Amino acid sequence: MPDKTIAENIARFGAGLKSGDLPADAAHEAKRRLIDSVACALGAWGSLPAQYAREEAPAVNEGLTATVIGSYRTAPEHAAFANGVMIRYLDFNDTYLSKEPAHPSDNIAAALACSEAAGRTGPELLAAIVAAYEVQCALCDAASLRVRGWDHVTYGAFSSVLAASMLLGLTEKETVHALGIAGTTSAALRQTRAGELSMWKGCAFANSARNAVFAAMLARRGMTGPSPIFEGEFGFFKLVSGPFSLELGGREKPFKILDTYIKYYPAEYHAQSAIGAAAELSKEIKDIALIESVTVHTFRAAYEIIGSGLQKWAPKTRETADHSLPYCVAAALFDGTVTLDTFSDERLGDKKLSGLLSKIKVSVDPALDSMYPEAVPNRVEARLSTGETLTREVLYPKGHPKDPLTDSEVEEKFRRLAVRYFSERETASVLKALWSVEKMKDSGEILRLFRRGG
């Protein structure tokens, strides 16, 4: 066994970032992810899962409290859950692809809740966000969970615990205990993302974040946790992931937050390039009725996660549709894009769209598979009744680090998702505040910006 356990190394890594002394590029990306995540939360505010999560969060006015977006103050763990559901629900928040895919901005709900509750500064919040990204992405680099039947949110318990521990002021020893508590209870079944997907798909990480915040709060009180959580006799390595080593950056190599992807379309990330390719093809197809067949050539991870299973060709829920490669391609061919309206009940029941969907097949292309995850390649091929075959291929979808969204495009995404709740002037004021997080002496200002959002 190494001199330090993995949990001890994670705790020491977080302690080294407490000062908020981040490289300018990492701090800037953290602000971009914060703006993007809050935008996603605003877009999902009126959804049923978001309503249910808020209704189960009791109003709390004593002790540690945090704000639910557009609502009242509650216990930090409840705020982490409610805000986490809103950030994740639309499947529009950011992504990281490796041995295990993930949505590292899911950690931001826990960070916001603990930062506000503990009265931390803007720089301290940004440091915790960057640390959480680093840990979750490094875990995703280390071992795949889905191949063993576990969901990616299992890793989120460790990353959210680190953010919570940093912001709540835990010592390194207390952080190790919090990691042990959360890690012991974190393993989530992959069934969340199999078959016909339910509302829980967008709530699973929020639940991990809630448990992580609670674990950190208990450890702060003195509660001890199982150890060593990774290397132990019945620990994480043996029962969940298999053994691995963990490499955390920030000193000799850039922080992982720089390698994460902001989404351009509100759909599962492996479909992003296919949507882009289909949208380009739609410009050349004068009449959808001319399409005889469509083949989506993709890579194995996309096929396994969103391109196989009968439900993907007849989605009955929003959650199944935004995780359906054929549905997203059909919608992009039909409408020239994919938007939030693509997944409305009315659109899911559209017989013309269903007819086009029935003409689509998905095939794994070994050449494309060899490019993943460095590239996220999809090729869409449409055969027309005229005898013509049209093809478009996209390797790096809009929002990928090799084709990133500009700051202006991130702002525009925020405006689109906030338009129901804020005037143009109010939106400009909110964006100005979010771009200036590093100047905030009280990071609780962030969530208080949105109390009127309801």
CATH number at residue 293: 3.30.1330.120
| Span 92-97, average pLDDT | 96
Share of the chain above pLDDT 70, in %: 98
In this structure, is residue 303 part of a structural domain?
yes
Question: Which pLDDT tens digit goes with each residue over 195-221?
Answer: 999 999 999 999 999 999 999 999 999
Q: What is the pLDDT of residue 450?
A: 86
pLDDT tens track for 211-264: 999 999 999 999 999 999 999 999 999 999 999 999 998 777 899 999 999 999
CA-angle at 12, arms to 7 and 14, nearest 5° = 95
* First CA to last CA distance, the chain: 52
- pLDDT value at 267 more than 70: yes
Task: Provide CB contacts within 8 A for 103, sequence distance 6+.
Answer: 88, 93, 94, 95, 96, 152, 205
Domain closes at, from 368, 394, 420: 394
Tally Cβ neighbours within 10 Å of residue 287.
Answer: 9
Residues 274 and 134 in one domain: no
Q: Domain for residue 358, yes or no?
A: yes
Residue 444 within a domain: yes
Q: Helix, strand, or coil here: 294?
A: strand
Rounded Cα gap, residues 354 and 366, in angstroms: 29
Structural domain count of the chain: 2
Q: 249 and 293: one domain?
A: no
Q: Does one domain contain both 332 and 445?
A: no
Same domain, 99 and 162: yes
For residue 217, the one-letter residue type is: M
Q: Are residues 242 and 185 in the same domain?
A: yes
- Whether residue 97 sits in one domain with residue 126: yes
Q: Assess if residue 419 is contained within a domain.
A: no
Predicted confidence (pLDDT) per residue in 32-81, tens digit: 999 999 999 999 999 999 999 999 999 998 899 999 999 889 999 999 99
**Could you read off the pLDDT of 353-377 as tens digits, one per residue?**
999 999 999 999 999 999 999 999 9
Residue 97 covered by a domain? yes
User: Are both 224 and 277 inside the same structural domain?
Assistant: no
When pLDDT is averaged across residues 146-156 and rounded to a whole number, the result is 97
**Predicted TM-score of the model (pTM):** 0.95
Q: Domain ends where: 365, 394, 423?
A: 394
- The answer to whether residue 100 sits within a structural domain is yes
Question: Strands (DSSP E) along 228-326, which ranges?
Answer: 291-298
Strand (E) or helix (H) holding 114: helix 108-118
Is the same domain home to 304 and 194?
no
Residues 211 and 326 in one domain: no
pLDDT in tens, 396-434: 999 999 999 999 999 999 999 999 999 999 999 999 999
Average pLDDT over residues 156-184: 97
CATH number, residue 253 = 1.10.4100.10
- Are residues 384 and 280 part of one domain? yes
Residue-range definition of the domain harbouring residue 358: 269-394
Q: Is residue 216 part of a domain?
A: yes
**365 assigned to some structural domain:** yes
Contact between residue 317 and residue 327 where contact means Cβ atoms under 8 Å apart? no
- Dihedral (CA of 264, 113, 442, 7) sign: negative
Residue 2 reports pLDDT greater than 90:
no
Q: Are residues 258 and 276 in the same domain?
A: no
Residue 453 has pLDDT above 50, yes or no: no
Q: What is the pLDDT of residue 61?
A: 86
Whether 29 and 100 map to the same domain: the answer is: yes
Backbone angles phi, psi at 365, to 5 degrees: -105, 115
